Amino acid sequence: MFIYTTMTTKKSPISRQIFNCINCNYECCKKSDYEKHLSTRKHKNTTNGEKIQQKSRQNLECKCGKVYTHRASLYNHRRSCDAVPLHRVEKHNEPDIIKTMKNEIDKLTNLVIEVSQSNISLHSQMADLYKNSNLHSSGDVINSNNKTFNLNFFLNEQCKDAMNISEFVNTLHIELSDLEDIGNLGYIEGITRLFVNRLKEIDIYKRPLHCSDAKRDIIYVKDENKWEREYDDNVTLRNAIKTVSFKNVQLVSEWSDAHPDSKSIDSSMNDRYMNLIKETTGGSGDTCENESRIIKKIAKEITIGKI
């Protein structure tokens, strides 16, 4: 924006035009200089800044005439301003939105309930299937020494009168000589030998456990009057090993009473006594790993192919 005025002097009545740019606070007498000023960056920046400010002010002006510097303030004003139609402030009907959301939540809830009930039913069916087919696995038919026989028939018919594993370990009698074998051979070899020797004393069809595949350690154990396959954790067989090991621990004090010198620290019998305590309580190394090695050794001795 510019204005120009006429100046007269006392000496001369000649009038002179003055070009004035209010935005930039610039004055000149020549039009050419003024036009040159209009093309400068300073003038353009100043002019554009004013336009942007005016445009911004227009955007933040309500129809009622009130002007705000922040959009949030303008929005809050419009919600209570009579000059603004209600539909421009509230574009949606809140009750309808709440109703729609409630319907969607109800549908989702029903879907979750249906899926949950289906999963429960599926788990129940799988559990029943597992119980019914526990013995009908790939090991049902075994080839050994050119002889083929059915594992299910062997266990449930021929070995139907076999003792339970709990009965086997509870009635297992341990001699002091067995305890000394554990001290001499070590925990793994000693417990394995004790198990295998006692199993071989029992009729084949009365034994509480059989192995159908020694390479993969597939072992079947009779517990609670039914045959079950042991899996990777071998829980039942591990518990049996722990029970037999504890029986040996209880026998250590009896061995010490039979050898009074073992209580003397300076005697060689005391060294044997301390070794017995060590081996009967699991020997050296990880107990769980030692039990796994015992299970592998037992499996090789009770494989059905050796019957």
For 66-123, what is each residue's pLDDT tens digit? 887 777 777 788 778 876 554 444 445 556 666 776 677 777 666 667 666 666 666 5
CA distance 162 to 253: 34
- pLDDT by residue (tens digit) across 10-60? 454 555 678 888 778 788 888 888 888 888 888 887 777 655 555 544 567
Q: What is the dihedral of CA 303, 304, 305, 307, to 10 degrees?
A: 110
Q: What is the model's pLDDT at position 64?
A: 82
Query: Which helix or strand (DSSP H or E) is residue 228 part of?
Result: strand 226-229
CA distance 30 to 15: 13
For residue 158, what is the DSSP state?
A: I
Domain locations along the chain = 1-59, 62-92, 141-306
CA distance 283 to 286: 9
Closest CA to 288 of 248, 234, 243: 234
- pLDDT by residue (tens digit) across 190-236? 999 999 999 999 999 999 999 988 888 899 999 999 999 998 889 99
